[in-house]
Copies of this chain bind each other. A is one copy, B any other.
Amino acid sequence: MSTDTLAPALSVDDATADLLFREARTTREFTDAEVTDEQLAAVYDLVKWGPTAMNTLPLRVLAVRSPEARERLVAHMADGNKERVSTAPLSLVVAYDPAFHEHLDTLMPHLPGMRDNLHAVPAVREDMGRTNGLLQAGYLVVGLRAAGLAAGPMNGMDHAAVDAEFFAENGWRSLLVINVGVAAGTGTTYPRAPRLAAEQAVTTV
């Protein structure tokens, strides 16, 4: 564990804090262990409980598993990310659905008019979908780790091309790609980069 945390202020034990944050690394090197659809469902069933505005839950995940699909994804990744996607056990295209409002009669039953109101304002839905999808992407990174999986998130990709390739029919929009698997060792040969101190990022008025 790191030395600058105030462990007594936490309600989770050190092993959990290490697993979810302090020792977890952006992983580039994985074992051959497979990531099953059942594992992904368990992760989703955990992180779906995280809060989103009006319970909109716009996060969508495309698990790119087949060699053919993987090749289609690699083609649209930035050059520096192609090999990582080629060799990861599984890559997730993390996206949001701008048509999230279609589920609101179920997800937000005490606001019965919201579905129709949002139907009329696609730009608002784009903004809400992106904002809350990214919040949920943060929950997802933690949830993968809570399932003993390592995550290698990356944003270097041609988003429009990925969306045209995979989401032409359902209209989802890509946010990032996360390589997923079991880490080999620490999962990376990079030394751990420093972080900002709390007093650089948190101020009080």
Chain A residues at the B interface, C-beta cutoff of 8 Å: 2, 4-7, 9-12, 16-17, 19-22, 24, 26, 37-51, 53, 55, 57, 59-66, 69, 103, 106-110, 128, 131, 134-143, 145-148, 151, 153-155, 166, 175-176, 190, 193-196, 198-205
Contacts and interface: CB of A to CB of B under 8 A. Distances in A.
Given A5-B46, A40-B204, 13 more contacts: A2-B45, A2-B49, A16-B16, A21-B49, A21-B50, A21-B139, A40-B198, A41-B198, A41-B199, A50-B142, A57-B201, A62-B203, A64-B205
Contacts of A40: 198, 202, 204
A151 B49 CA distance: 13
B51 A153 contact: yes
B195 A49 contact: yes
A65 B203 CA distance: 10
B109 A193 contact: yes
A45 B5 contact: yes
A166 B20 CA distance: 32
A140 B141 CA distance: 12
A204 B63 contact: yes
A137 B139 contact: no
Contacts of A2: 45, 49
B44 A11 contact: no
A22 B51 CA distance: 11
A147 to B, nearest CB: 5
A30 B59 CA distance: 29
A195 B57 contact: yes
B44 A17 contact: no
A124 to B, nearest CB: 11
